[in-house]
Amino acid sequence: MKLTDSTADMQGRILSVGGDDHFMNRITSIGITEGTAFQTVRNDRKMPVLIYLRETLISLNRADAERIEVEAV
């Protein structure tokens, strides 16, 4: 599923990240890489998605979160 489809408190893992090199650089340098475990903290309509990953609370806007495939674990 897409990260935007995950629900609050879901424990999951990043499956794949898609986008151009610029986007990939930004997203991976903050720690969002394939295989990383994370937790969805908040996912409200029209608001950025909040996830907890590598001991950090990260906010992603919805357009970017749509490009991230995740699975629940």
Partner 1 sequence: MTGSIALLGQPNSGKSTIYNNLTGARQHVGNWAGKTVEKNEGSFTYNGVKYTVTDLPGSYGLSGNSDEEIITTDFIKSGKSELTVVLVDASQLERSMFMLAEFARLDKPAMLVLNMMDVAKDMGKDIDTDALAKKLGIPVLPFNATDTKDYDKLKKLIAEELKKPHRLSVKAPEGKADVKADSKAKFDWVSEILENVTRTRESVYKMSKFDRVMTRPILGKVICIAVVLLAFMVSMIVMLPFAGVGQMIPTLLHEPVDKLLTGWNVHPWIVNIFSMMIPNTLSFTISMASFVLGVNIVFGFLEETGFIARAAYQFDGLLSKLGLQGKAICPMLMGFGCTIGGACGTRVMDNWGQRMLAMSIVWAIPCASIWSIIPVVSGMFFTWWQTMLVCVGILAYVVVSMIIVSKVFGRKLAPMETRSGMIMELPPYHKAHWKHILKEAFFKAWGIFKRALGTVTLVSLIFYVLSFSRDGNVNNSLLYRVGTTIEPVTKFFGMGWQTFVAFLSGAFAKEAVLGTLNAVFMGGNSVMEAAFFSQGTSTDTALLGTAMSQAVSAAEALAFMFATTFSVPCLMALSTTYKESHSLKWTVKVALFYICNALVLSCIVYHVAELFM
Instruction: Specify whether the CB–CB gap between 24 and 17 falls below 8 A.
Output: yes
Q: Which two tokens stand for residue 73?
A: 């674990």
In whole angstroms, the minimum distance from the beta carbon of 1 to partner 1 comes to: 20
Please report where in the chains the tokens 């879901």 appear, as a residue.
10
13 is a site residue for partner 1 (CB under 8 A): no
| Contact with partner 1 (CB under 8 A) among 3, 14, 60, 70 | 60
Helix (H) or strand (E) holding 17: strand 11-17
Residue numbers at the binding site for partner 1 (CB under 8 A): 9, 11, 17, 21-34, 37, 39, 41-42, 44-48, 50, 52, 54-61, 63-64
